[in-house]
Amino acid sequence: MRARYIEAPRLGYTLAMNKRVGGWLFLVLALAACDEAPRAGEDAGAGTPGLTASSAQAPVAPATPAGSADAGAAPSVLLEAAHLIDGIGAAARDDVAVLVEAGRIRAVGPRAALEPKASGVRRIDLGGATLLPGLIDAHTHVLLQGDVTAADYDEQLLKESIPYRAIRATAAARTALMNGFTTMRDLETEGAMYADVDLKRAIERGVVPGPRLFVSTRALAPTGTYPLLGYSWELSVPEGVQITDGVDAICHAVREQVKYGADWIKFYADRRYTLGTAGGYPQTPGGPDAQCTHALCSSVNYTDDEAKAIVDEAHRLGKKVAAHAMGWNGIDAALRAGVDSIEHGDGLDDELIGRMVHKGVYWCPTLYVGIYVAPGRGGIWPKVVELERTAFVAALQRGVLIAYGTDAGGYPWTENQAKELAIMVRYGMPAMDAIKSATAVAAKLLGQSAELGTIEAGKRADIIAAPADPVVDPTALEHVSFVMKDGIVYKGAPDR
């Protein structure tokens, strides 16, 4: 039996992967660290798949996150710019400065007021740029590199070893950081066991650069509901999730994932989607959609007792729960179970939206991934994109808590995650609210409002800059010119 097929309940991740994989993963991270700083005269993005000169214009500083032994090494900096969006107010502030010390924001205010307090401190003048809090993507798959088709997904699990996928994940994490995403909630490794925990630790310890990660490790689904599927019963193929059946096994799996480092627990609430009468689509008499009276229906994966066991055990251990739920039936089941966030939610209607608002459940719509994969998948997928736009408009009107999530990894990491913002605005969300969904709102979802999401004194110094006003043009955030995380400058620091 190949090491990557061994279940963690038997041996634990480190032993399950064996010394061979553990050694390779160490080598992966060491090589990534060695490649971190460009050679003299070399572009910062050279040699990194998916990273171009436009997305990595400045040399990468050594990663020394706050909270590490070297947190105090972050230099004091006075950031100056023409505009500031702080994640709190309804409008940008002009001619501002931000004083950063030891990885945290010490003060925010008019440039003229802060300059006297910053005697001897390095000044970084970003000219006419707009400063913003570091962006937060609350739905990613850093160990996945795009899965438009089932074949794309299967190939990664069947032909790419976990160490190789970890190499690609380090490149993806670096790309995300250079694009202004200083924090991500990564919602499962898609068969790569607990490699997300290893990447998170490597970033925290300064081995490789990347966003601050909140990880969900393996995710949960019952037998026969998640890829890889359709192979001969004589073959033992990888599973994209941790397969769990029954309340006892579910509780054990939740505890195990928490043991190995899960910050969140994720489960797949549904599968097998059909269009229904509420969406105005014709149905096939006697066909699989004949009983679907909602816009988008689905088959529910877990029994109510099983789904509730996932949520109850995770909450008992102090962890929140995210549910993949696209169709009406899956969303309904996830809400009954008491989840904290709904992922995708294409089949939301007024009833489900009302329940989400009442319970304070967050929604990560992941709009761009649907648009990206629909042409390649065909079938009902183009219509699902239309349904989600309708759901998004309705959710806006009712005040659903919408947290920014892209499903990056479901499309290649060469696509900038910030493309989601322009779509949210096109669907009717005010640009400032879209920015807050990727900053203050996402921070609240993560339980990190005291640390992240706004530019305020005392918070972590996660600060980015856009070359133009993103309220006027949201696509400006697809061209971030400056990135600071925990007081360390990773991109674009001209001295003036």
pLDDT digits (tens, 9 = 90+) for 10-32: 333 333 333 334 444 444 444 44
Asked whether the beta carbons of 196 and 186 are under 8 A apart, the reply is: yes
- Range of 152-156, 230-234, 391-395 with top mean pLDDT: 391-395
Which has more pLDDT, 462 or 31?
462
The answer to whether residue 495 scores a pLDDT higher than 70 is: no
Beta-bridge mates of residue 93: 84
pLDDT at 440: 98
Asked if the model's pLDDT at residue 320 lies above 50, the reply is yes
Three-state SS string over the chain comes to CCHHHCCHHHHCHHHHHHHHHHHHHHHHHHHHHHCCCCCCCCCCCCCCCCCCHHHCCCCCCCCCCCCCCCHHHCCCEEEEEEEECCCCCCCCEEEEEEEEECCEEEEEEEHHHHHHHHCCCEEEECCCCEEEECEEEEEECCCCCCCCCHHHHHHHHHHCCHHHHHHHHHHHHHHHHHCCEEEEEECCCCCCCCHHHHHHHHHHCCCCCCCEEEECCCCEECCCCCCCCCCCCCCCCCCCCEECCCHHHHHHHHHHHHHCCCCEEEEECEEEEEECHHHCCCCCCCCCCCCCCCCEEEEECCCHHHHHHHHHHHHHCCCEEEEEECCHHHHHHHHHHCCCEEEECCCCCHHHHHHHHHHCCEEECCHHHHHHHHHHHCCCHHHHHHHHHHHHHHHHHHCCEECCCCCECCCCCCCCCCHHHHHHHHCCCCHHHHHHHCCHHHHHHCCCCCCCCCCCCCCECCEEEECCCCCCCHHHHHCCCEEEECCEEEECCCCC
Average pLDDT over residues 2-12: 30
Nearest by Cα to 219 from 194, 202, 236, 238: 194
Domains in the chain: boundaries: 3-31, 53-133+458-491, 135-417
Provide mean pLDDT across the span 419-429.
98
Query: pLDDT tens across 239-251, in order?
Result: 999 999 999 999 9
Q: What is the pLDDT of residue 282?
A: 61
The pLDDT assigned to 14 comes to 34
Res 119: pLDDT: 85
Q: What are phi and psi of 408, to 5 degrees?
A: -55, 140
> Could you tell me which of 99, 110, 39 has the C-alpha nearest to residue 74?
99
**Average model confidence (pLDDT) for the chain?**
86
Task: Tell me what pLDDT residue 26 has.
Answer: 45
Do you find a cis peptide bond into 228, omega within 30 degrees of 0?
yes
Banded model confidence at residue 132, pLDDT cuts 50, 70, 90: very high
Percent over 90 (pLDDT), the chain: 79
Q: What is the pLDDT averaged over residues 110-121?
A: 90
Strand order in the sheet with 341-344: 242-243, 220-221, 264-268, 320-325, 341-344, 362-364, 401-402
What tens digit of pLDDT does each residue of 59-107 get? 334 333 333 334 446 889 999 999 999 999 999 999 999 999 999 999 9
CA distance 363 to 82: 33
Split at pLDDT 50, 70, 90, the class of 120 is: confident
Query: Would you state the pLDDT for residue 54?
Result: 34
**Mean pLDDT score, 184-213:** 97
Average pLDDT in the 402-410 region? 98
Can you tell me the mean pLDDT for 448-463?
A: 98
pLDDT of 47 strictly over 70: no
53-133+458-491: CATH topology is Urease, subunit C; domain 1 (2.30.40)
- 191: which strand partners? none
Average pLDDT (197-225) is 97
Positive or negative: CA dihedral 42, 48, 53, 56: negative
Longest dimension (CA), the chain: 77
Encoded tokens for 124 = 């970084």
CATH architecture of 135-417: Alpha-Beta Barrel (3.20)
Query: Counting beta carbons within 10 angstroms of the beta carbon of residue 433, is it exposed (0 to 12), middle (13 to 18) or buried (19 or more)?
Result: middle
Query: For position 279, what pLDDT does the model report?
Result: 63
Q: Are 213 and 184 in contact (CB under 8 A)?
A: yes
